[in-house]
């Protein structure tokens, strides 16, 4: 359903190896009333308990790939939904070449109830269709196993301008008729929606995890309001990033800059770097509007009429 707050809760920000401060990667996107769990790494259920999100409130799950640090929390999430007697099947989007791996994962752990899930294999680049009211697009990334990035977009809308309506004497049922029909005749004059409204583009959130630099990463991030991007290594270790199929902080920032994204959120850090501030500092030299996320940070983004809103950050306090 449309409306409500738009935000992203970071459940974990580690890469392959978790640490005392960082859980395996995972996040919950809430966008125009839809709630999507992305890459539920090990410990996802436990992390959720420290937030206001629940497994029963999820509308969909998206997996970028089937490496364990991105998916081992999935069986527990689904089993908990089964315990809650949720009858509707939860859409589960994943790279189609990893179908066998997903089937093995879904059989992990014994449960007395069938898992309430509807797997949706994504074959490759292009639109996936509507999921939970969002338009979803995928693109194949450059990683050693089949991997896709995600792009979520809300519908475009027109925003009525109160001053324009008042000037034409439009109010009450007449406004409703204008919205339904697209135009209305008042005092012998035909008024169109375009005359009393402005186009409001939908929100775009892009998620690029586990990849080398590639064209698909830039395509997913194009004009995104929010780009969530892996930043496994610092620039000094660019050779390691290339060897293992990952990005550095400066490469993530270059994607955001060149793709015209509005805000960049970094995550998926190697545990060789204990301080996220190093990632933020490197990325900020390339792209100024950057957040180096920590576990349980919340990134919010709102849009008010005639305001060029910028997403903000409301983090859980850290010692």
Which residues are identified as catalytic? 69
Assigned token pair, 87: 């009858």
How many CB atoms within 10 Å of residue 141? 24
How many CB atoms within 10 Å of residue 19? 13
How many residues can be counted in the chain? 319
Nearest in space to 281 (alpha carbons), one of 292, 270, 295, 273: 292
Tell me the C-alpha distance between 286 and 257, whole Å.
7
Yes or no: say if 205 and 226 are a contact pair by the CB < 8 Å rule: yes
Yes or no: say if 43 and 68 are a contact pair by the CB < 8 Å rule: no
Tell me the C-alpha distance between 290 and 283, whole Å.
7
Q: Strand 226-230 vs strand 204-208: parallel, antiparallel, or unpaired? A: parallel
The residue assigned the tokens 């979520």 is 152
Tell me the C-alpha distance between 219 and 96, whole Å.
20
CB-based contacts of 154, cutoff 8 Å, min separation 6:
2, 31, 32, 133, 134, 135, 202, 203
Tell me the C-alpha distance between 50 and 162, whole Å.
42
CB-based contacts of 109, cutoff 8 Å, min separation 6:
75, 76, 79
Tell me the C-alpha distance between 218 and 212, whole Å.
11
């Amino acid at each position: 359903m449309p409306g409500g707050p738009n935000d992203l809760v970071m459940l974990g920000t580690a890469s392959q190896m978790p640490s005392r401060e960082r859980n395996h990667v995972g996040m919950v996107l809430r966008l125009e009333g839809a709630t999507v769990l992305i890459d539920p790494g090990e410990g996802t259920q436990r992390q959720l308990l420290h937030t206001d999100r629940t497994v029963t409130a999820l509308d969909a799950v998206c997996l970028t790939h089937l490496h364990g640090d991105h998916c081992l929390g999935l069986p527990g999430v689904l089993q908990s939904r089964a315990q809650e007697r949720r009858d509707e099947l939860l859409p589960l989007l994943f790279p189609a070449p990893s179908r066998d791996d997903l089937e093995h994962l879904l059989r992990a752990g014994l449960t007395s109830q069938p898992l309430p899930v509807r797997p949706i294999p994504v074959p490759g680049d292009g639109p996936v269709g509507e999921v939970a009211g969002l338009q979803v697009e995928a693109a194949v990334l450059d990683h050693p196993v089949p991997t896709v990035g995600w792009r979520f977009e809300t519908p475009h809308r027109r925003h009525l301008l109160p001053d324009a309506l008042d000037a034409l004497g439009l109010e009450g049922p007449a406004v409703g008729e204008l919205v339904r029909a697209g135009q209305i005749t008042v005092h012998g004059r035909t008024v169109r929606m375009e005359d009393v409204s402005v186009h409001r583009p939908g929100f775009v959130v892009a998620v690029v995890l586990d990849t080398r630099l590639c064209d698909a990463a830039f395509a997913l991030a194009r004009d995104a309001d929010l780009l969530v991007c892996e930043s496994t290594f610092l620039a000094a270790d660019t050779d390691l990033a290339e060897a293992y199929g990952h990005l550095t902080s400066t490469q993530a920032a270059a994607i955001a800059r060149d793709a015209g994204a509005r805000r960049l959120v970094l995550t998926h850090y190697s545990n060789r770097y204990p301080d996220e501030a190093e990632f933020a500092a490197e990325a900020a030299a390339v792209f100024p509007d950057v957040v180096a996320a920590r576990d349980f940070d919340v990134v919010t983004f709102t849009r008010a009429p005639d305001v060029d809103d910028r997403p903000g950050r409301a983090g859980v306090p850290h010692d």
